[in-house]
Amino acid sequence: MNAYLQHSDRLQNWASRLDTIFARCKGAYSDLTLSGYRKDLDIFANWCAQNDREFLPTQSDSVARFFDDQLETCSYATIRRRASAIRFAHVLSDLPCPMNHSDVLLSIRRAARMKGRRPKQSLGLTKDLLGKMLTACPDTLPGHRDAALLCVGYDTLCRSSELTWMCIEDVQHDLSRICIPRAKSDPFGDGRICFIQETTRVRLSRWIHRSQITTGPLFRGLHTGSVSNTHLDTSSIRRIIKTAARRAGLHREAIGLSGHSLRVGAAQDLMKEGFSTLAIMTAGGWSNPEVVSRYVAKARNKFVPGNSVAQTSW
């Protein structure tokens, strides 16, 4: 019982220290980033308590052993993310950071060799799949919301988090352009302007008219036929995409789809249409060409230079 109480007291003390760190960072980082760091740090704190290790500051051998233990159940990407969280906690506490110690670097290399560094890619929601899903969207309020979200997400190559942040004020009056106010690669909110095609404007107009939204979040939850005042979260967008696929009879494809699939599929279609890596990076707000290359690696159809995805009709 004493050991249990000691374990609980340590976790409470560490949680209080994390609360202080995250309160300081409010507004300097996105809520999504802070939420992810907090979850990873809570996992590390529990591991430290169970293994009688100090949490903050922690020692390099503790971090290395933690990563080695994580190899049994976690991907390389997850280990890298948790490494970032541990670094974040030490830097924001003005403590010596253990992440550059050779023990930690070697443990991360072991993870890369054992697990592989290439992350699993979501199935691309290309225009062929999208067309089938749009055809199956019913003439109802949820159907119009889903169709508008799918089309806007594809045209803008948005991440699911960017779709959740969209507000109706970001949409130009004639619905021809949308401002993406912030993004993972744009933490300071410089924004980027995206053009949307005519058929997308029609579907977006239907959703706005039927939902009677005049201000605030563009895509919202629906409860008993009423439109919520709050924006969708990323998990809701993932469910909408999977549900739309199953509604269209794409049950096998639905398994591989995620909230990132619209972005992946649109990038693949742009590549097949003959657009350069730089053009695709500009369209999707990427800063790293390697990421784009990974996205389009599975698009094997022959290039057709000169055509534009923006001319596609749904």
pLDDT in tens, 178-189: 988 766 666 555
Q: Given this model, what pLDDT does residue 252 score?
A: 92
Highest mean pLDDT among 3-7, 85-89, 289-293: 85-89
For the chain, what percent of residues have pLDDT higher than 70? 87
Which pLDDT tens digit goes with each residue over 191-235? 788 999 999 999 999 999 999 999 999 999 998 878 998 889 889
Residues 151 and 214 in one domain: yes
pLDDT at 115 > cutoff 70: no
How far is it, in rounded angstroms, from Cα 294 to Cα 282? 16
How far is it, in rounded angstroms, from Cα 36 to Cα 39? 5
pLDDT at 48 > cutoff 60: yes
Closest to 88 in 3D by CA, of 129, 44, 154: 44
Work out the pLDDT band at 1, boundaries 50, 70, 90: very low
Q: Given this model, what pLDDT does residue 186 score?
A: 60
- Is 122 inside a domain boundary? no
SS3 180: strand
- Is 205 inside a domain boundary? yes
Cis peptide bond upstream of 57, omega within 30 = yes
Instruction: Give the residue numbers spanning the domain of 136.
Output: 127-311
Residues 276 and 185 in one domain: yes
Residues 133 and 270 in one domain: yes
Chosen domain end from 115, 139, 174: 115
How far is it, in rounded angstroms, from Cα 194 to Cα 210? 24
Q: What angle in degrees, to the nearest 10, is found between the helix axes of 261-272 and 277-284?
A: 150
- What are phi and psi for residue 151, nearest 5 degrees? -65, -45
Q: Given this model, what pLDDT does residue 6 score?
A: 59
Cβ–Cβ under 8 Å, residues 269 and 263 = no
Work out the pLDDT band at 132, boundaries 50, 70, 90: very high
Whichever domain contains 24, its CATH number is: 1.10.150.130
Residues 105 and 193 in one domain: no
Model pTM score: 0.66
How far is it, in rounded angstroms, from Cα 13 to Cα 24? 17
Residues 93 and 168 in one domain: no
SS3 30: coil
Cα 9 to Cα 38, 51, 82, 116, distances in angstroms: 19, 15, 23, 38
Work out the pLDDT band at 72, boundaries 50, 70, 90: confident
pLDDT at 304 > cutoff 70: no
Give the residue carrying structure tokens 């749904």: 314
pLDDT at 87 > cutoff 70: yes
Q: In which region does residue 193 sit, left (phi positive, over 0), alpha (psi from -120 to 50) or beta (all else)?
A: beta
Per-residue pLDDT, averaged over 2-27, amounts to: 79
The helix or strand, by DSSP H or E, that contains position 141, with its residue range, turns out to be helix 141-156
Residues 110 and 138 in one domain: no
Per-residue pLDDT, averaged over 51-70, amounts to: 91
Residues 266 and 245 in one domain: yes
Q: Given this model, what pLDDT does residue 99 score?
A: 92
Question: DSSP of 3-19, one letter per residue?
Answer: HHHHHHHHHHHHHHHHH
Task: Quote the strand ranges of 60-191, DSSP E.
Answer: 177-180
- Is 120 inside a domain boundary? no
226-231 and 177-180 strand pairing:
unpaired
Per-residue pLDDT, averaged over 8-23, amounts to: 86
- Is 252 inside a domain boundary? yes
Whichever domain contains 290, its CATH number is: 1.10.443.10
Chosen domain end from 95, 115, 135: 115
Give the residue carrying structure tokens 């220290």: 17
